[in-house]
Amino acid sequence: MTTIAGCDDYTPRTLFRAAHRTTPSPSPSSSAAPSNRVLDPPAAIEPPQAQSDVDATATHGYSVPTFLAHVRDALLTDLNGVGRELSFAIPATVPLVDLLENLEKFNVEKDLQTLRISVTDGQLKIYQCMPNEEHESAGLFIVDLWNQLRDLNGGAYPEVKRVGSTQYKDINSGKAKQADGALRPKSRPYGALPSVVIEVGDSESRPSLYKDVDIWFNMQSTGPHRIKLVITVKIYRASHRIEVKFWERVLQRKAEAPHLATEAFPGLDCKRSAIVASIGNVTGISIPTRLIYDNAPGFVAGQPSVTVTSDKVQSWLVDLFEGL
Spatial CA neighbour of 60 closest among 72, 75, 47: 47
What confidence score (pLDDT) does residue 184 get? 95
Q: How far is CA 188 from CA 151, 167, 192, 216, 295, in A?
A: 22, 16, 6, 17, 10
Q: What sign results for the dihedral spanned by CA atoms 116, 149, 218, 260? A: negative
* Residue closest to 205 by CA, chosen among 11, 62, 2: 11
The residue type of 94 is V
Cα 225 to its chain centre, rounded Å, is: 18
Q: How far apart are CA 215 and CA 194, in angstroms?
A: 14
Average pLDDT for the chain:
75
pLDDT at 27: 41
pLDDT of amino acid 29: 41
Q: Which amino acid is at 191?
A: G
**Number of neighbouring beta carbons within 10 Å of residue 112:** 16
Helices H, strands E: what count in the chain? 7, 14
pLDDT for the residue numbered 160: 96
- Whether the CB-CB separation of 71 and 88 falls below 8 Å is answered with yes
For the chain, list residues with pLDDT below 70. 1-62, 78-84, 107-108, 110-114, 128-131, 171, 173, 221-223, 274-281
State the DSSP H helix or E strand holding residue 177, giving kind and residue range, or none if neither. strand 175-178
> Letter for the amino acid at 132?
N
Contact 56, 103 (CB under 8 A): no
From 108, 47, 107, 99, select the one nearest 68 (Cα to Cα).
99
Scored b (16 or more CB within 10 A) or e, 12-34 reads: ebbbbbeebbeeeeeeeeeeeee
pTM of the model: 0.68
- Where along the chain do its domains lie? 12-25+37-128, 133-321
Q: Are strands 175-178 and 181-185 parallel, antiparallel or unpaired?
A: unpaired
Taking the C-alpha atoms of residue 305 and residue 289, their distance in angstroms, rounded to an integer, is 5
Q: What is the pLDDT of residues 182-213, one digit of tens each?
A: 999 999 998 889 999 999 888 778 898 999 99
Q: What is the pLDDT of residue 153?
A: 95
pLDDT score recorded for residue 139 = 82
pLDDT score of 252: 92
Residue 109 and residue 69: Cα distance in Å, rounded? 14
Tell me how far CA of residue 269 lies from CA of 34, 120, 125, 246, in angstroms.
51, 30, 29, 12
The highest-level CATH class for domain 133-321 is alpha beta
pLDDT at 229 (0 to 100): 97
Q: DSSP 3-state assignment of 299?
A: helix
Query: What pLDDT shows up at residue 40?
Result: 39
The residues, ordered by sequence, that sit 6+ positions from 274 with a Cβ below 8 Å of its Cβ are none
pLDDT at position 83? 55
**Does residue 42 have a cis peptide bond before it, meaning omega lies within 30 degrees of 0?**
no
